[in-house]
Amino acid sequence: MRWQGGRESENVEDRRGGGGFSMGGPLGGRGIPIGRGGLGIGGLAVVVVVSLLLGINPMDLLNGTVPVEQSRYEQSQAPRSNADDELGRFVSVVLADTEDTWNALFQQAGRNYQEPTLVLFSGAVDSGCGFAQAAMGPFYCPLDQKLYIDLSFYRDLRDRFRAPGDFAQAYVIAHEVGHHVQNLLGISDRVQQAQQRAGNRAEANALSVRLELQADCLAGLWANHANRERQIIEPGDVEEALTAASAIGDDRLQKQSRGTVAPDSFTHGSSAQRVRWFRTGLESGQMQACDTFSADRL
Ligand SMILES: [Zn+2]
């Protein structure tokens, strides 16, 4: 991906190594809400998998109504390496690029794009949606309109999910920005209301899948526009993003965690679905093409 020398966003909040938290003592018994209302890229799936293993309703976990066992978080005080700072600059340039794209697209539709803030953290973070740990993966919190990412997720992406490359990393940010766009357009709210009316968990999960696949499509839409305006895509980049999209599909994550796949509990869509919707956004460049909610086939 061609990003060096690109504009850096002013909406990055760097909370890496900023003193950190110590989550209570051994006697602390307060439940910690995690990721309330937050929409992660793979983290949500991890929560689902973990809670299935523990026999807890994941919706309760995500709504923060289940007390999570308290853990002590040790902040690493290691100095930041140059590689990290280069990564920090990189995400800032990608965020700026999404701002340029979405400002233009909203303007075309006669609307005003409110730019989100990207929070970089290490280990754990106190978000507007509750306390979150890096293990949850990157997520978007609609309540404070901020994207949260621990850059160590990129190491996981490369090593654990075998999806290396800077464009794969950019896709992750573009997906979370996609959730912000859904929030601004009122889509997330409508989905949440429909989920509350849903008769069962499978139905609620099916709506989550459509929301997630739409965020993938919006990430593809960003790639289309950014490339048309600023020629950022280099050979191999699209394959990188598709590898990432496929590596963090729920079926793949579930297989890694428990060896089998149970479609009812999917909340992000299968690997093939994620690839298809990212590609739909990328190839069409049209917002209308990203209507996952009325699509017959995902
Ligand atoms: Zn997501």
What is the 39 CA–ligand 1 centroid distance (Å)? 5
Which pTM value belongs to this model? 0.77
Question: Distance, CA 43 to ligand 1 centroid (Å)?
Answer: 8
Q: 140 CA to middle of ligand 1, Å? A: 8
pLDDT at 68 over 60: no
| Beta-bridge mates of residue 39 | 140
CA of 267 from ligand 1 middle (Å) equals 9
Distance 260 CA to ligand 1 centre (A): 22
Residues facing 148 on adjacent strands: 119, 139
Q: In this predicted structure, what is the pLDDT of residue 24?
A: 34
Alpha-carbon gap, residue 221 to 227, rounded angstroms: 10
Query: From the CA of 268, how far away is ligand 1's center (Å)?
Result: 7
The answer on pLDDT for 20 being more than 50 is no
**Are the beta carbons of 45 and 253 closer than 8 angstroms?**
yes
Query: For position 29, what pLDDT does the model report?
Result: 32
Rounded CA gap, 206 and 216, in Å?
Answer: 15
Confidence of residue 133 (pLDDT cuts 50, 70, 90): confident
Whether the pLDDT of residue 54 is over 80: the answer is no
Predicted local distance difference test score (pLDDT) of residue 18: 53
Q: What is the band of 159 on the pLDDT scale with cuts at 50, 70, 90?
A: confident
Mean pLDDT on 228-236? 91
Tell me whether strands 146-150 and 139-141 are parallel, antiparallel or unpaired. antiparallel
User: Residues with Cβ < 8 Å from 88, sequence gap 6 or more?
Assistant: 12, 14, 16, 120, 151
Measured CA to CA, the distance from residue 280 to residue 283 in angstroms comes to 5
Report residues near ion ligand 1: CB below 5 Å. Answer: 39, 41, 212, 215
**Cα–ligand 1 centroid distance for 21 (angstroms):** 26
Per-residue model confidence as pLDDT tens digits over 204-213: 889 999 999 9
Q: Which residues pair with 18 in a beta bridge?
A: none
Q: Measure 172 CA to ligand 1 centroid, in angstroms.
A: 9
CA of 247 to the centre of ligand 1 (A): 14
Q: Domains of the chain: which residue ranges?
A: 12-290
Which pLDDT does position 255 carry in this prediction? 67
Alpha-carbon Rg for the chain, nearest whole angstrom, is: 18
Measure Cα distances from 168 to 26, 51, 84, 144, 253 in Å: 40, 28, 17, 26, 17
Query: Taking residues 163-170, what's their average pLDDT?
Result: 90
The confidence score (pLDDT) of residue 244 equals: 87
pLDDT band (50, 70, 90) for residue 258: low
Encoding tokens for residue 109?
A: 């539709």
Maximum CA extent, the chain:
56
Specify the pLDDT at position 113. 97
pLDDT at 259 over 80: no
More confident residue, 172 or 258: 172
Q: Calculate how far, in angstroms, residue 176's C-alpha sits from the geometric centre of ligand 1.
A: 6
Q: What is the CA(45)–ligand 1 centre distance, in A?
A: 9
What pLDDT was estimated at residue 294? 92
**Local confidence band at 70 (pLDDT 50, 70, 90 cut-offs):** very low
> Which residues have CB under 8 Å from 186's CB, separation 6+?
none
Say yes or no to pLDDT of 171 above 50: yes
C-alpha separations of 20 from 33, 123, 131 in Å: 18, 8, 12
pLDDT given for residue 285 in this prediction: 94
**For range 220-242, the mean pLDDT:** 92
Q: Would you say 21 and 106 are in contact if contact means Cβ atoms under 8 Å apart?
A: no
pLDDT, greater one: 244 or 221: 221
Please write the tens of the pLDDT for every residue from 272-296. Answer: 899 999 999 999 999 999 999 999 8
In angstroms, the Cα distances linking 181 to 3, 44, 74, 282 are 23, 18, 34, 16
CA distance 102 to 49: 33
- Are 281 and 220 within 8 A, CB to CB? yes
What is the percent of the chain with per-residue pLDDT over 90, rounded to a whole number? Answer: 45
- Which stretch of DSSP H or E encloses residue 117? strand 117-121
**Binning pLDDT at 50, 70 and 90, where does residue 77 land?**
very low
Alpha carbon of 48 to ligand 1 centroid (Å) = 13
| Mean pLDDT of all residues belonging to the chain | 79
Question: What's the CA-to-centroid distance between 107 and ligand 1, angstroms?
Answer: 24
Give the pLDDT mean for 112-139.
89
Q: Which residues contact 261 (CB under 8 A, 6 or more apart)?
A: 251, 254, 255
